[in-house]
Structures are given as structure tokens and as C-alpha cells.
Amino acid sequence: MRIRTFAALALLGGAALHAQSQAPEAPPPWSQPLEQTIEKLIAVQHVTGLAVGVVSDGKLAYAHGFGVQSLQTHEPVMERSLFQMASVTKTFVATSILQLVEEDQIDLDAPLIKYLPYFRLADDRAKAITIRQLLSHTAGMPDVTDFEWDKPQYDDEALERYVRSLSDRTLIAAPGTRFQYSNIGFEVLADVIAKVSGESFEDYVQTHILTPLGMKHSTLLVREADGKLLCAPHVSDAFGAFAVSKVFPYNRPHAGSSTLYSNVVDMSRFALANLARGVLEGEQILNSASYDLLWTRSPVAGAPVGLCWFLGMSHGLRTMSHSGGDVGFSTNLVLVPERGVAVIVLSNCTADAVRTVTEAALDLLLR
């Protein structure tokens, strides 16, 4: 494993930037220009920490860490450094739901209340919400107004308690009529997974996705994350200077929308399984036909999604992606199935660099 050291940034108080790679001895030809782009962005945008993974030719072809896990410890970001994945977590919810669909335990077009009889909103239209609408953000659900990261809950009843607390909320549109992104919808779906499977949401994902795919360092339970690998979240002040956030983004009621902790190595395995339509090294997490559901655009006008996955184009090729942003973290996962390519970019600060690095990597890989 080789280690690269970069020029120190004034923002880091003289801390050197490091990168570690799991790539082969002869790095891919696009790695040097990609690193040059990343180094410039880090210097200009004062990014505290960044990890980049690129999947190509059926393997993790590139994995590097840049900057530090925390401005307090100055430990370098490594390829196995853990980041809060924020909304990229939702793709694991979608995978779990489709697994249960394959087992005939869930019907995508059945009303939500079939699986959660206690679900109530202060709006009679909520009785018509379907699982498919929740997955595609077309259920008319409102969004979270406060994740209460400063009041974390850790107990097994936290998720159901949160779903039951929604009874005073109202819809923002009739179900099935409009696209409106909703984190709440995915908290509710996490509770569906728990009730249908008979396991906690976190245990279900661990047993049916993370373990089969060999995602050894990933977890939805922050207390089970390796503290030596866990990056600190950083937020900026009015002058653009970053510092470690006073709150860490974890609260168990919001596991379905936000709180997977992972790294570029583990996420590359998730990407590889999806690029192969559900199969990795003999383990099958989904049937191939399920991807026709996940990656077919919603019929609701203006909806840019299939089931959870955002659908787009890059260099004339279809992309399936999901990004995430939370207190002190920014993430992106993009799949290009026609080329067998995936790009994973994770940061421990809320910086525009994540999207810029993603685009730079796609430009180099797809041109």
C-alpha cells in the first residue's frame, strides 16, 4: 500500500495531507489527472477531508484518502475512514424493500397502512399512500424539520415512536400527484422493513446487505462504528473556516434516511453488486428483474427518480445516483451500468468539492 503526502494547508494548521491507495502497482492512466484536480480543489475550497473510490472493470480500481479525519486529531483520511453517508443510506432502504417484494412480503402498490396500521397523519389522504410512492418521493409526504442530532436516541423503540409522532403532520400534495423529496418517507419505510421482517431496521440491513456483500466496516449503529476510523463532521463559520461540529449527526429514528456509516472500500462493494444487477462474488442481494423497477423513471410528471435512485445522463450514458448532505458530511454515489463504472466521493465537511470531484472522475472515465 503506498502513501502519498501533499502540501500542507493553512487551514489545517500545518497538517500534511495524505492519501492511501488500494489500487494496483500500476495505477490507471486517469488517476494522476484526477488527483491533480482533487489537490487543487482541496487547496482552493479548504476541504478538511475527502475519500474517493472508483469502480471500473469489475473491481475497485482506485481508492484514496485526502486531508484529515478530524481537525482536532489530524489523523489522515484513509480509504477505510468512515463517513456518515447521509441520504445515500436511502438506497439501502430501497434494496431492503425490493428484497421483501421478491419474497412476496411487500406489495409496492399496497397502501402503507397495510404494513403499519398505526400510521396516521392529520390528513385523510394519507390512507392512500403506497410503498411505491414513498420510494419515489411522490407520496406527498412532508419533510423532517429537525433531526434532533443534539438529542440522539439509541433504543430499539425509537423508530416506531417517531412514526407514531407524525400524527399531527399533513400532506403537502395528494399521493401520486407530485414529486417532493421527503426524508420522513424513508423513516416510515424503515419501520415497514422492521415490522414486515420482524427484525430491527438496522439488523435487517446488516444481515441481508452489509454482511453478504462483505461491507465489514459499515454500520447503521454509530456505537458499533470503529472509532479509530470514524471521521468527525466539520462545519464552517461566517468566514468559511471549518471546525469540528458540536453535534454529531446520529439519531436512531432517522436511520432510514441518513445514518449509514461507511467508507469507499465498502461502498465499492455495494456499487459492484448493483452494477452486476444484484450479484457480488456469488452472493445475490437482489434478482436482476428488481433493477427494472428500481431504475425505471416514475410516471409522475417531473419526478427525476425510479424507486429511490435518481436517474440522469453523463456523456450520453444513463446514470443512477444518490447524493447526501448532513451536518458536517457530504457524499455522492454514481453508477454508470453501461460502462461498469461507479464513482464514490465522501467528505467530512459540507463542500461543493464532492460534486466537482464526481464530475471530474466521470469526465476522465467516460470520455
The full set of domains in the chain, from first to last, is 3-86+227-295+315-366 (3.40.710.10), 91-202 (3.40.710.10)
- Which pLDDT does position 238 carry in this prediction? 79
Which string of DSSP letters, residue by residue, matches 140-172?
A: -----S---TTS---STTHHHHHHHGGGG---S
With residue 54 as reference, give the H or E element that holds it: strand 49-56
* pLDDT < 50 positions in the chain: 1-24
pTM of the model as a whole: 0.92
- Which pLDDT does position 237 carry in this prediction? 85
- Which pLDDT does position 25 carry in this prediction? 56
Query: b or e along 129-142 (b: 16 or more beta carbons within 10 Å of the residue's beta carbon)?
Result: bbbbbbbbbbbbbb
- Which pLDDT does position 43 carry in this prediction? 85
pLDDT in tens, 208-245: 999 999 999 999 999 999 999 999 999 998 777 899 99
- Which pLDDT does position 170 carry in this prediction? 98
Which of helix, strand or coil describes residue 342?
strand
Of 187, 119, 181, 185, residue with least CA distance to 153: 187
